[in-house]
Structures are given as structure tokens and as C-alpha cells.
Amino acid sequence: MVRTTVIRKNRYLDSVFLMQVARRIAGQPGLRDASALMATEANRKVLASLGYGDGGRDADFATAGPNDLVLAIEGEAAAVAAIAADADAWLARGSGAASMAAREPRTIPEAVAGRPDCTLAVISVPGEHAAREARLALEAGLHVFLFSSNVSVEDELALKTEARRRGLLVMGPDCGTAYLGGAGIGFANAVRPGSIGIIGPSGTGMQEFACLVHRFGAGISHGIGTGSRDLSDAIGGISTMMGLDALEADPATRLIAVISKPPGEATTARLWERLRRCAKPVVLCLLGAEPGAIEAPGASPLAGAEGTIHVAATLDEAVCLALEELGLPGSAQLRPDGEALRRQAAFATGQLAPEQRHIRGLFAGGTLCYQSQAIFRRAGLAVCSNAPLSGMRQLPDPWVSLGDSFVDLGAGLFVEGRPHPMIDASLRRERLEQEGQDPSVAVLLLDFILGAMSSGDPVGGLLEAILGAQHAAIRKGGRLCVVASVCGTEDDPQGLQNQTRALEEAGVLVFPSHALAAAFCVEVMLQLRNRKEVH
């Protein structure tokens, strides 16, 4: 394998497009990885840590600046050389003619002039410029999908306050997923249209919920992402409340699901007040909420002034409650069979060496990392994490696991200056290889996210590392239990069956949902704890 970089001076392209470029290149025969980034100092440091730049001897790479674009490619020599030789074609928008990019509008006013029928602006520029572009979109009468992160709380509040005054919606900042009128935006899966609307700051949570709803025969009317801070007390749930108004008035929506981490204390009170006035049934899933802070899972639904409020502790429970409320069958397999999980866990545990006692979760989806912690906490088990919920321990060094650890590799620390792990598997692959060399690791818990903008082959990006970790455990006299879920549908370009089959052929235990995968891991860890106490 060889690595090379191609530098284009004074060439700016937005991050979403660059992610797509990297994904297309990485999917070519003979290539292992690709990154397309602006050559900021942070980005160059990340790429240098991955072996690019020839140890500082590549002068073009070393002197590249934040206004320059860098294309980093790893793979077989001939394949890398072919991409590098045709780099401009890969970086051109549209059909590949570089001249097409020059004819595209360069500003929001130009875009509106060319397409006056549009109602939504998708904004993906560096965070320091995002608020200005969002204001221009609002002034043009457009709703805003703000993919950009690193926007200040003050700017977010100002944007959402102005949008509300204009009767417009701001989804974001840091909004990764939406489903609007049958069209997926950002990280989104191919799901059928239907009667369930979704609101929430949890992008991967919305994807998992939508895919499970699709899998059991129902569909999504709209999915409104709000941005990760919307339900904080600093923002007050402005976009969430507007989303509730919109879905309540939407004739295609029969039920509304709100999926979120726990809101701020003051915003929680406002949210409950609004939900009790909702004329449609609501499923509320607050992942990681303190025990007792919401009604217990499975409790009788709460009667609002108009509709009904069902409370779920996991995404699976939320799907089951939504389908049952609508009178739709088929979600029974999402309810864990405790005895079956215990038997399956006993078989896996029996293959482990005595020193194997820890679990390591490596997540591309931050919501799934959070949900797994909540499931472990409910079982009385604690883990370390770089994104710990209440009752869990902060991982001292996010780059190094400690004991039982769940790591959100999509957190800002890991993605600053590089593609998200749902797009580029390189960072997660390196971390997986690192965990596979630790003789104390018994279980690896993984998630794979399909859909638009995600890697063309998420499983393929980690398969070699999974097999390597398994073989390393065997050489040490044990077995590595690799557990996974795949978030997606058969209509996604990657194909749910193809991805699942590739994992199963590699000896990975694949569960229908990530909550079930985490529940199985709980059983394994409880049995390992009992084994340790016996000895």
C-alpha cells in the first residue's frame, strides 16, 4: 500500500461535497482510503498522523494552507497513481467537467435567483461562516438545513429566533439528518413514505428509528432534525416546538415521535406542556434520561389534553409503541427475549479465555453510543466513555480505552478536520486494530450505518481489521466476540442484506437493532462478572 497527496492551491469546496468525493474515490478498485479536506493546520496534523506527507519531506503538503485543498489517497500504487493523475475530474461537480463548477451559483441570492421555486437551503460551510449564510437564506424566505458545526450558541439562538419570527424553520446547526416530503437530506436512509413523523436532535437515532419503522412495514411522513443543542435551556427547544406545530398540522402525519437526549430542566417542563396539548399521539424517547425522570418503559400511556403520550427508554421501544398505537403488527422481534439472549451469551462466554473480561464499543453513531450506555446503566453496569451519560465515567484519554469503554468516534475531537466515521472508516479501523491487540478484550460492539452520504461499503472498511482482531485473540488462546447491528434498509445503495451477510460470514453476531445488540452484550458482561466472582 502507498499513500500520496494532491494539493490544489486556493481551491475551496464545501465539506458535504468533499465527503462525497472521498467516498467515491475510496470505493474504487485497489484503494483502501481517501480523504478530501481543506488543508488547515489541524487537518494536516491528522493526515500526517496517518502517514501522509512523507514525514515532512513532501514540501507541497507541508506548506499547504487553509485556503488550499488536499486530496489524500491510500491503496495499491497503480490505483493511487491513476486517481492522482485525474484529481481535477474527481473534484469537479456534476458530470465531471470542471467548467460546470464555474457556472454554479456562488451565493445564496444567486441560487435563489436561479431557482425561485426552492424553499430550503442546505448549508455546509466552515462554522465561522455558517451563521452568515443561514441569515442570507432566512432573508430570502428559505427554511434552513444547517449541516455545519462549530456555530456559537449565541448565533444559533439568534438564527432560530429570527426564523421563528419569519415563520421559517432552522434545522441545526450540527444537523445531520432530515426527511422532508419523501426526500432524505444529509445522512439519510431510503425509507418508504408513511404516517409517522419524527423530531429530534439525534441524527443517528432518527435513522435507526426510521429504518426499523420501514423494516416493519410502516413509513415516515417527515423527519425534522433540530440540531444537537436545540433542547438545551440555552436554546429552549425553538425548532422542536416549531416542528411539533408543523407535524400536528400535517394531514399525512398520524403519530409524532420525539427522539432526543434529555433536555435541559426548564426545556423539559416546556416540552411536557407542549406535548400534553398535542392533538396527535406522541412517542417520547429521551435516551439516557435519569431513572425516574420519565415514566418507566411499558407504563400506561399518559393522557394529554388532546392525544396520548407514550414514553420509551430505547429506540426499539419507541418503534414498538408507535406501531402498536397505529395498530400495525410485526414489531415483536424488537422486544428482547431474555432467556434466549442468556443462552446465546453463555455460549459466547464459554469460548473466552480467563483474562478476557472487558467490552469495547466503537461507535460511528453518537446516539447509539448513548443508547448503549443507557442499556448498560439500566442493568447496573458502568463503562467509561468520551461522551458519558450520568452514572458513567469520563474516559481520561479518548484515544486510549480503559477497562470497559464505549467511544463515540463521531465526536468533535475525532472528526475535526477529517471525514465522519460513517464516511471514512480509517480512524475506527485503527482503533479496532488497537483494541484487538489487548488480551483483556472479550467483546467488540460495533454499529454500521448505511444510506446517503455514508461509505459505499461500511462493513468492507472494517472487515480486514475485524478478522485480524479475531485471529489475534485465537493466537492468544481465546476468542473475540464481535457484536454488531446494521442501520439501513434493502433500498439503501449499500444493501442491508449484503452488509449483514458479509459480517455474518466473518463470524460477527449481527442483531436486528442496536438496542438488541447492546442487550446481548449486557448478558455477556453479567456472565463474565459472575465467572470472575466464582473464581
Name the domain boundary from 103, 128, 155: 103
Question: Which residues, 6 or more positions from 497, have their beta carbon under 8 angstroms from its beta carbon?
Answer: 490
- Cβ neighbors of 435 (< 8 A, separation 6 or more) are 360, 362, 401, 441, 444, 469
| 263 part of a folded domain | yes
Number of domains composing the chain = 4
Residues 404 and 509 in one domain: yes
> Per-residue pLDDT tens for 293-328?
554 344 445 554 456 899 999 999 999 999 999 998
The candidate with the shortest Cα–Cα distance to 277, out of 251, 245, 323, 317, is 245
Task: Give alpha helix (H) positions in 351-404.
Answer: 366-378
Same-domain pairing of 386 and 375? yes
For the chain, percent of residues with pLDDT exceeding 90? 70
Look at 238 and 98; give whichever has higher pLDDT: 238
Same domain, 410 and 345: yes
pLDDT at residue 23 is higher than 80: no
CATH number at residue 163: 3.40.50.720
pLDDT at 94 over 80: no
Residues 529 and 266: their CA atoms lie apart, in Å, by: 39
Does the pTM exceed 0.75? Answer: yes
Which pLDDT score, from 0 to 100, does residue 492 have?
94
* DSSP annotation of 306: S
The answer to whether residue 138 is domain-embedded is yes
Quick one: cell of 458?
461500511
For cell 417542563, what's the residue? 269
**121 and 90 within one domain:** no
Same domain, 393 and 528: yes
Q: Residues in the chain, how many?
A: 535
Instruction: Compute CA distances 227 → 54, 79, 191, 240, 312, whole Å.
Output: 39, 39, 21, 9, 21
Among 103, 136, 159, which residue terminates a domain?
103
Task: Note whether 91 and 118 are same-domain residues.
Answer: no
- 241 plus 256 within the same structural domain: yes
Residue with cell 460470514: 505
The C-alpha atoms of residue 510 and residue 346 are separated, in whole angstroms, by 17
Q: Kindly report, residue by residue over 366-384, the tens digit of the pLDDT.
A: 999 999 999 999 999 999 9
How far is 430 from 76, CA to CA, in rounded Å?
Answer: 19
Do residues 161 and 292 touch, judged by C-beta distance below 8 A?
A: no
Q: What is the chain's mean pLDDT, rounded?
A: 89
- Ranges assigned E (strand) in 119-174: 120-123, 143-146, 170-171
- On whether both 83 and 116 belong to a single domain, the answer is no
Given this model, what pLDDT does residue 96 score?
40
Domain containing 221 — which CATH number? 3.40.50.261
Same domain flag for 31 and 161 = no
Claim to verify: residue 317 and residue 204 sit in the same structural domain: yes
pLDDT, residue 298, reads 42
Residue type present at position 278: C
Residues 283 and 360 in one domain: no
Residue 24 lies in a domain: yes
Q: Which domain holds residue 314?
A: 192-334
> In terms of domains, do 343 and 283 share one?
no
The predicted model gives 252-267 an average pLDDT of 93
Are residues 207 and 177 in contact, defined by beta-carbon separation less than 8 angstroms? yes
**Is pLDDT at 487 greater than 80 in this prediction?**
yes
Last residue of a domain, which of 47, 73, 103?
A: 103
Q: How far apart are CA 363 and CA 521, in angstroms?
A: 14
Residue 180 maps to a domain: no
Whether 184 is covered by a domain: the verdict is: no
Chain-centre distance for alpha carbon 130: 21
On whether residue 185 sits in a domain, the answer given is: no
Q: Is residue 63 part of a domain?
A: yes
Q: pLDDT, tens digit, for every residue of 324-345?
A: 999 987 677 788 888 999 999 9
Say what the pLDDT of residue 530 is.
85
Could you tell me if residue 179 is inside a domain?
Answer: no
